Chains A and B, each alone.
Chain A
Amino acid sequence: MNIKIASLLTLGMLGTMVFAILATAAFVMGALDLPTLLILTVAVNFFAWLFSPVINDFIYRIFYKIRFCKEEEFRQLDPELAEFTARICKENKIKFPKIGIIEDDNPTAFTYGSLPSNARLVFSHGLFVYLNPDEVEAVIAHELGHIVHYDFVVMTVANTLVQLLYEIYVAFTESKSKNGSSRDSGPLAVIGLISYIFYIVATYVLLLLSREREYYADEFSAKTTGRPQSLSSALIKIAYGMVTLESDVRSRRLLESTRAIGIMDPHSAKGVGMVSRLSGEVGKVLAFDFVSPWAGILELSSTHPLTGKRIKRLDDIAQSQGKEKAYDIPAIINNMTLDRGRLYSGFYLGAFIYFLPNISVILGFILSIFMGSFSYLFLSLGLSIIIKALYRFPRKTSSIVTLLDLMSDMYASPVRGRKVALEGKVVGRGEAGAYLSEDLMFQDRTGIIYLDFSSKLGSLGNLFFALKKVMKIIGQEVQAEGWFFRGTYQMVSLSSIKMGQNTIKSHPALWSIIGGLFFIFIGLL
């Protein structure tokens, strides 16, 4: 639901940005003129949007092993959900979407398409493993909300506009005016610079828009289902990964059917996380989004709002619908004992380390100019990369914790990893169905989390791991060690994963350190 559409948007943006750069290069080299460039950009984006359902179908079939099923088949598999979907579609006068299923226990749902009439609604098997029917309906309603709101169109148009700003920037700063007059070309260059500033601001506005669309879809879901809290608890399960292995049996025929297809080990997924039971603890999980200084800042560059904020809004909707608030966040925070010094010193130091390579590039550049040699630039860059890597992955002994412990840790940082050991089971791929991805979805008795694997051989080793090892690990009881990071979402960078006698090592800092040493080597030369 979140990572998928985010990555989709990112991919779309990257693809069209690459196009923008290529077209701009063609412009600079004189193969295109400005109007052609702008028209071409709009046209390419239009066609990319127009054909995006077909293109994405292909991509998901190949890389995610997605399986599409007809409305009738879906009705057979899960009559209630199908009926629910059909009702919303009818109410909002949209076509019943094409349904795609991913055989992976990582719970996720997303949608894509170019218009409501050709929308695709995709969910993973894991959605039914961890969510109860109400929550599933809330999630599906959220996704249908994206379709009803024409979000594909809105985001494509917004993205195109941002690209146009970039192209205008390049065109005006690079080109001379037609009659070669400096009177005309000087101001054009100034306008080009302004449009570059606008472009940078606009990329953040684009993300803001994306976050607004999420709120909007949440609202749609809350209003359609009439149960804002179903979506809240679904979010807590999917976004925070807070699920428990309580045996509140949920057995839909869909679950059975995907099992029957049998790609996955039919492990005894009984379940559903029961959030309300944890509510006190979960409150702490939510609190991070309000307490940590990191949260708001990292949200700026995220396609999705902070989950805590979404839940708070859903609570407000619930209140306006005459229901009780489920999570009294201010009260939870007021009852916490917080070491303010630790919270902020960690933040300031983390922020400093996070930007250290950028700072060192600037300082190194200035130093290089004064000393007349670029070796200082490379030395300071290499050194700062190594310092950052060492800071991110401190060499400490790990203690066994639960995910709930980690998610309740207000001092967690997206920069400084916390060395932890987790015991539980690998339930799927890091991205549902993405069989070329080396990352894993892990579950302990309190929740699920994304495990980031880094081979010492770099991306080739990662690919090997993805193709050869991941299938064997999925479904296994493991002990995972690594560094916990939390920003807008949470993850563990693995250092090792142990299955019985078998231990697989992961080296998240290795390539950063090699890169840093490489720069130092260049600097010394």
Chain B
Amino acid sequence: MDQFEEISSKNRRIMRIILGVPLAFAILLVAGLLLCIPYVIKVGGNADLQKEILNQDNMTPGEADEYLTRLTADAGINDMMSEDAIYNASLAKLYTKKGDYDKAIGICLAGLQEEESVFYRYYLAQAYLEKGEYEDAKRELASVLSASGDSFYDSTLYDSTTSALADSVRIKAGTQSQIDLIDLRDVIIAAPDREFTEKEAASYISRFKEKARYAAPLMDDEEFMLSYILVCVQAEDFAEMKRVIPEAIKAKDDPAYRYYMGVAFARTGEDFDKAMEQFDAFFAASDAISEAEKTKEKEITYLSQSAFYKEKADYENFNKTAVRMLDIRTSYASGMWLELMKEFKSVVSDKKPYDSQVLADGDQDGMSDELEKLLGTDPAKKDTDGDGYEDEKEIIFVHNPLVVSDDKLSAQGYYDYYSKMVYYQPSAEDAKAAQEYIIIDGEPTEMMQRILHIDQR
């Protein structure tokens, strides 16, 4: 063979290799890819089936069984998919629907060993939920909720399905809590005379608080709620009362709730106005309650209010409270005024012991000018409202010195005053002055006479 032929054939060989190898590779690749298509269609079909299964919410065990046969029909695909999270999740879902929870849980746990996937967590949560292991379900759900929706196969689907699962876990877990709550209710209601030790009360409250998220249905159970409120009163947990009662009121506006709400407000010390509002609502709704009872309740509120202000040395509000008490005609008011006077005197004299001006009494009505300023009466007039009774006397006889009193200063008033006097140990001079101004509506009772020493006059 000559050189030309030799070299040409060698070059042709090289060309054949250089062209042929990639070309053969390309042809093989194309052929391989074409051969792949049926397989890809199969895998795609399986993937579609997986999606369909995962999207199917309502499924009877029979349907689940049918799906299971379809999903696992091809052994080759089962093999290939055995580590695929979505495939395994579909299996787990089907087993859950069939009622074979342990198998579903097993699949998910095995899958989680290989790969951390939100799919496993999600369907694990569902299996636990159906099985009734709520704590486990909640734990898995928490990890699903903390995962990003992107890792799920479809973020919108993720949102809807997760929230649905979350709801059902909440409802079911809630049911369990409600069962606990009903137990608690029975215990509370069954307590003889609704009396609990402080320790019992505290433990009931903490049990109730724990399940508070599921307690909504109990809110319209009046019998329970009133019992529970009593528990709170006993435990002096007014904050809990303030939390619970408005919800109970939302369910049913029972006057009793108003009353206890008022109690809660009054006892916590600051919301006296709110307390009175609640009491007013309570009184308005309760016809059966006598005036005296109403007055007494209000009186207690005002008293605690005045004690609160006194503690804080807030004389202005202390005085206002006293004025309000005068409006409901409670005898405690005068005591309070006197208290105020005493307090005032001591405070003022402590402050300015050598200042004679402090105790100056320009109109000679028995109250110093400074005090009159505080009380709101006119320091220059003995009788600010001009009803014929001097300011101090009006206070003593439980009248408002700023409002014209139609009725006469009553013996009852004096009786009340006097009992206070006894309590406050008035000087003989004070007692005498009081007797001077007594005006008797009708005959004083024997007891009154005795106390007022009328017989001595």
B29 CB-CB contact with A under 8 Å: yes
B7 CB-CB contact with A under 8 Å: yes
Chain A residues contacting B328 (CB-CB under 8 Å) are none
> Which of B12, B33, B48, B51 is the one whose CB lies under 8 Å from A194?
B33
Stretch at the interface among A107-115, A125-133, A290-298, A369-377: A290-298
B4, A330: Cβ atoms closer than 8 Å: yes
A297 to B30, CA, bound (A): 24
A290, B37: Cβ atoms closer than 8 Å: no
A338, B3: Cβ atoms closer than 8 Å: yes
A183, B48: Cβ atoms closer than 8 Å: yes
- Residues 311-351 of A, flagged 1 when their CB comes within 8 A of B and 0 if not, give 00000000000000000011101101010100010010000
B3, A333: Cβ atoms closer than 8 Å: yes
A193 CB-CB contact with B under 8 Å: yes
- Beyond A190-B33, A194-B34, whether A334 also contacts B3 by CB under 8 A is yes
Chain A positions 192-221 with a Cβ under 8 Å from a chain B Cβ: 193-194, 197-198, 200-201
B2, A194: Cβ atoms closer than 8 Å: no
- Beyond A186-B43, A190-B36, A190-B40, whether A181 also contacts B4 by CB under 8 A is no
Chain B residues contacting A293 (CB-CB under 8 Å) are 10-11, 14
Most chain B CB inside 10 Å of its own CB: which residue of A193, A201, A293? A293
A333 to B9, CA, bound (A): 13
Chain B positions 1-60 with a Cβ under 8 Å from a chain A Cβ: 2-5, 7-8, 10-12, 14-15, 18-19, 23, 26, 29-30, 33-34, 36-37, 40-41, 43-45, 47-48, 51
A193, B44: Cβ atoms closer than 8 Å: no
A330, B47: Cβ atoms closer than 8 Å: no
Interface residues on A, range: 20 to 34
Chain A residues contacting B47 (CB-CB under 8 Å) are 182-183, 186
SS class, residues of chain A in contact with chain B: helix
A336, B3: Cβ atoms closer than 8 Å: yes
Chain A residues contacting B8 (CB-CB under 8 Å) are 290
Chain A residues contacting B5 (CB-CB under 8 Å) are 330
B14, A190: Cβ atoms closer than 8 Å: no
- Beyond A197-B26, A293-B14, whether A333 also contacts B7 by CB under 8 A is yes
Q: What distance in Å separates the Cβ of B23 from its nearest Cβ neighbour in chain A?
A: 8
A118 CB-CB contact with B under 8 Å: no
Chain B residues contacting A330 (CB-CB under 8 Å) are 2, 4-5
Chain A residues contacting B10 (CB-CB under 8 Å) are 293, 344
> Which of B2, B23, B41 is the one whose CB lies under 8 Å from A187?
B41
Q: What distance in Å separates the Cβ of B17 from its nearest Cβ neighbour in chain A?
A: 10
B44, A183: Cβ atoms closer than 8 Å: yes
- Beyond A193-B33, A197-B30, A296-B11, whether A333 also contacts B40 by CB under 8 A is no
A295 to B34, CA, bound (A): 35
Q: What distance in Å separates the Cβ of B150 from its nearest Cβ neighbour in chain A?
A: 16
- Beyond A201-B26, A297-B15, whether A290 also contacts B4 by CB under 8 A is yes
Which of chain B's residues has its CB closest to A328's CB? B4
- Beyond A190-B33, A190-B37, A296-B11, whether A181 also contacts B3 by CB under 8 A is no
Chain B residues contacting A246 (CB-CB under 8 Å) are none
Chain B residues contacting A476 (CB-CB under 8 Å) are none
Chain B residues contacting A189 (CB-CB under 8 Å) are 40
Q: What distance in Å separates the Cβ of B90 from its nearest Cβ neighbour in chain A?
A: 13
Chain B residues contacting A347 (CB-CB under 8 Å) are 14
Q: 5 A-B contacts, Cβ less than 8 Å apart?
A: A186-B47, A189-B40, A296-B11, A296-B15, A333-B3
Q: List residues of chain B with CB under 8 Å of any chain A CB.
A: 2-5, 7-8, 10-12, 14-15, 18-19, 23, 26, 29-30, 33-34, 36-37, 40-41, 43-45, 47-48, 51
A-B pairs, top 3 by smallest CB distance, nearest first, are A183-B44, A186-B44, A182-B47
